[in-house]
Amino acid sequence: MKETLIAAFLGRRPDGFFLHGRRHTPGAVQLLRSSGIPVVESGDLAGRPIDMMVSYSHFDAAKALTNHLIRKGYRRIALVCAPWRESERHYRRWRGYRAALQERGVAYSARRVVETVARGMDQRAEALTALLDHDPRSGHQMP
């Protein structure tokens, strides 16, 4: 959030700020911290919040979910996600998935990662279908 916009909002004497996202300029952070009003951020638990945080760790969540599946006996675990190279949140999820596989000795395959910009259920279903098209039980090869 730009400093000029923050200053304009502060001039209106708000009771607080709720910010989605964790990328702020040093000047914006300084303005918000010195304002004396509550600042709640959402996004990812990584880093130090300006004031308060409402969120979870995307890395830990993906790792915990992947570990749960491994403990249940699954070994061909796939990930359907937004393009992880374009978003810090999605990158952390992908890293958590990879970390769990590596720590448990389960082979990683890039073919089990389907990146999609799907926003609705139809697009997510298409991403899942693309993944299942590579299932060895269907006659297609998936490493």
- Are 54 and 44 in contact by the 8 Å Cβ rule? The answer is no
105 is a domain residue: yes
Amino acid at 84: W
143 is a domain residue: no
pLDDT > 60? residue 78: yes
What's the domain range around 73? 58-138
7 is a domain residue: yes
- Are 79 and 112 in contact by the 8 Å Cβ rule? The answer is yes
Residue 115, φ and ψ in degrees, nearest 5 = -95, 130
What's the pLDDT at 114?
Answer: 77
Residue whose C-alpha is closest to residue 128's, from 120, 35, 55: 120
Find the mean pLDDT for residues 25-30. 92
pLDDT in tens, 84-102: 777 788 899 999 999 999 9
Instruction: Tell me the C-alpha distance between 93 and 44, whole Å.
Output: 11
Residues 73 and 132 grouped into a single domain: yes
